[in-house]
Structure 1
Amino acid sequence: MPTAKTESSTKRASTNIAGNACVQIMEVTMFQKAQRSSSKLRLALTGPAGSGKTFSSLQIAKGLGGRIAMIDTERGSGSLYANIVDYDVLKLDPPFEPRKYIEGIKAAEEAGYNVLIIDSLSHAWAGEGGILTLHDRTAKAVRNSFDAWREVTPQHNQLVDAILASSCHVIVTMRTKTGYEVTSEHGKTKVSKVGLAPIQREGLEYEFTVVMDLSIEGHVATASKDRTGIFDGTRLTPSPAMGEGLLNWLNNSEISTETGKISDADRLAEIFAQLGLNDDLWEEYRGYVCERYGVCAMKEMNARQVDEQTTLLKQCLALEKKRAQFSEILRDRKLAA
């Protein structure tokens, strides 16, 4: 017959065993092995005016595939690129209240679009009727800036939540504050326009899968944030190939960030193809590049050389005269071979 002390010890032991079992059950039910499943893209393109945000967003959307919708706050400029890819536009006029953006997002989802471009998200913050306007109006009414932020912040958060929860791939563009950089090149002073912080609430960029900063010269993009690992340390011109690479990463849980990367040669090939020159001139172009930089293959080019060729091809794409001159040079090379 057990003593009182033994009975007490037995009860404590039983309690401990039961408690440990409970912890073990909780560990099994609450924690699971982390596995990445297919998901939707959340991409932000930032840059000053003239950096090619709208054009770049459409190029990437083309690579993602499916029907494309655009919320246009840029006074109809979103329709200027209808020759690039088929897409539908919803034009937003002032006031740029977050509520109107949210309604547009919901409409795109209900219509079954695969990709939604919001061009530009900056108007929801600093545009007429945006968050800053709402804050100023509220601050005058309550005579307290802090209380005013408490009133308008939920509206901003609702817009962010609508973007993050959307069933569409979402690409947003954001203007950046413009600054000027003075550099010396070949003994000459050069003044370049550069983008600074995005015109939106501080920290918003951390909500996105990828954030690409676009430059005015050559419309070259660099990743300031990249959860995919595809674009780390690279400079590229946005193209459908970029959209295809992102889609592959989003849909394939086993993809390596190395194999998902788009090579510099592929990026240049994408731009070259847009020139509409004969396919045989591509080989002449490759030979020209290798000869110019003293490399055996285009993959051996460094970042500066890639940027130089990207700018050249983009200029040929924009200027008919320059494209004709470039085509003539390549044809002369072929005849001389």
Structure 2
Amino acid sequence: MFKKAERKQARLRLALAGPSGSGKTLSALLLATGLGGKIAVIDTEHESASLYAEYADFDVMSLGAPYSPERYIDAISSAEAGGYSVLIIDSYSHEWIGAGGCLEINDAIAKQKYKGNTWSAWNETTPRHRKLVDRILTSPLHIICTMRSKTETVQGEGKKIIKLGMKSEQREGSDYEFTVVLDLVHDGNVAIATKDRTRIFDQPEVISADTGRRLIAWLNDGKKQDEHGAEAVNEAISKIPVAETMQELQSIYSAAYRIAEQMPEPLARLNAAKDKRKAELTEAA
């Protein structure tokens, strides 16, 4: 059924991409400060985020290798359980290119099961990466991901050497998952929008806390999130009675639970529907 489109309140999904030294971590922290609320940082950059503790009030989790999608998912769950409002993933690139990340996972699967055929191995690696993407998209937190960019050095005016960020070091097409993608230029730490559904970044700018305040104003300028959440929970409740397997039931329930957990009445109805269908499936088995 079609219905009139309306913009609802939303959670931020923003990517900051740039070469080494372009200011990704500090920009993310300043932006998060402007968004408001408790800030958590998943730090895969050898505790580099803590170097900026004077600029923002935040808690940090140091995440070392292996950088598997599952470890990122567990870290996101910890941030949600900790009552944070904003999560910075610094850096999202490690899940793809880091030790124990998707590229290494795929090579290992190819050698173990497909006689070195990496193309076939992606049938197993891609779903694991996709689970992380889905986790980021469905989280109730505002999420900011930093991504490394492959660097190219060029000579500017006056023979000045300039670092330019090229392609982001993540899976091809990862930019599509974000509301805003900002490329940071090494010279001056200026952010340039390569994708912007907010239409806030019509000009290059240096990221500050005010950037975050402008974003939160845009995110909150829509239909009340509780109304949107109740609609999503009601839709899940309508799907639960026709779930054919425990796995399908769990998938429907988990997605709706993250929305309903702060709404007692919808949560009670969701749990009742889930328990009833679980009992029916158990009996049928």
Could you say which TM-score interval applies, normalised by the shorter chain?
0.7 to 0.9
Q: Is the counterpart of residue 139 in structure 1 residue 110 in structure 2?
A: yes
Counterpart among 66, 70, 75 of residue 46 in structure 2: 75
Q: Is the counterpart of residue 240 in structure 1 residue 213 in structure 2?
A: no
Matches within 5 A, 1:32-111: 32-111=3-82
Return 36-45 or 142-151, whichever deviates more: 142-151
The one-letter amino acid of 1:85's match is: A
Instruction: Report the equivalent of 1:121.
Output: 92
Instruction: Report the equivalent of 1:251.
Output: 220
Instruction: Report the equivalent of 1:154.
Output: 127
SS of 2:29's equivalent in the other structure is: helix
1:138-172 C-alpha deviation (Å, 9 max, x unpaired): 11121222211111001110010011111000000
In structure 2, C-alpha distance between the alignment counterparts of 1:208 and 1:181, rounded to whole Å = 29
1:267-320 C-alpha deviation (Å, 9 max, x unpaired): xxxxxxxxxxxxxxxxxxxxxxxxxxxxxxxxxxxxxxxxxxxxxxxxxxxxxx
Q: Is the counterpart of residue 207 in structure 1 residue 180 in structure 2?
A: no
The one-letter amino acid of 2:53's match is: A
What is the percent sequence identity of the aligned residues?
Answer: 53
SS of 2:160's equivalent in the other structure is: strand
In structure 1, C-alpha distance between the alignment counterparts of 2:69 and 2:206, rounded to whole Å = 31
Instruction: Report the equivalent of 1:195.
Output: 165
The one-letter amino acid of 2:86's match is: V
Tell which structure's C-alpha radius of gyration is larger.
Answer: 1
TM-score of the superposed pair, with normalisation by structure 1: 0.64
Q: Give 1:191 deviation, angstroms.
A: 2.5
SS of 1:44's equivalent in the other structure is: strand
SS of 1:107's equivalent in the other structure is: helix
In structure 1, C-alpha distance between the alignment counterparts of 2:222 and 2:11, rounded to whole Å = 13
Q: Give 1:85 deviation, angstroms.
A: 1.5
Q: Give 1:128 deviation, angstroms.
A: 0.2
Q: Give 1:182 deviation, angstroms.
A: 2.4
Matches within 5 A, 1:218-237: 218-232=188-202, 234-237=203-206
SS of 1:75's equivalent in the other structure is: coil
The one-letter amino acid of 2:127's match is: P
Q: Give 1:78 deviation, angstroms.
A: 1.2
Instruction: Report the equivalent of 1:181.
Output: 154
The one-letter amino acid of 2:188's match is: G
In structure 2, C-alpha distance between the alignment counterparts of 1:198 and 1:135, rounded to whole Å = 19
Q: Give 1:193 deviation, angstroms.
A: 1.2
The one-letter amino acid of 2:193's match is: A
In structure 2, C-alpha distance between the alignment counterparts of 1:146 and 1:82, rounded to whole Å = 43
In structure 1, C-alpha distance between the alignment counterparts of 2:63 and 2:36, rounded to whole Å = 24
1:87-109 C-alpha deviation (Å, 9 max, x unpaired): 00011011111100000101111
Q: Give 1:216 deviation, angstroms.
A: 1.1
In structure 2, C-alpha distance between the alignment counterparts of 1:138 and 1:211, rounded to whole Å = 32
Q: Which runs of 4+ in 1 moved over 6 A?
A: none
Q: Give 1:189 deviation, angstroms.
A: 2.5
Q: Give 1:253 deviation, angstroms.
A: 2.6
In structure 1, C-alpha distance between the alignment counterparts of 2:34 and 2:119, rounded to whole Å = 44
1:42-75 C-alpha deviation (Å, 9 max, x unpaired): 0000000000000000000000000000000001
Larger relative contact order (Cα-Cα within 8 Å, sequence gap ≥ 6): 2
Unaligned runs of 5+ in 1: 1-29, 255-337
Q: Is the counterpart of residue 167 in structure 1 residue 140 in structure 2?
A: yes
Total equivalences in the alignment = 221
**Considering only aligned residues, what root-mean-square deviation do their CA atoms show, in Å?**
1.0
In structure 2, C-alpha distance between the alignment counterparts of 1:123 and 1:145, rounded to whole Å = 19
In structure 1, C-alpha distance between the alignment counterparts of 2:53 and 2:108, rounded to whole Å = 38
Q: Is the counterpart of residue 31 in structure 1 residue 13 in structure 2?
A: no
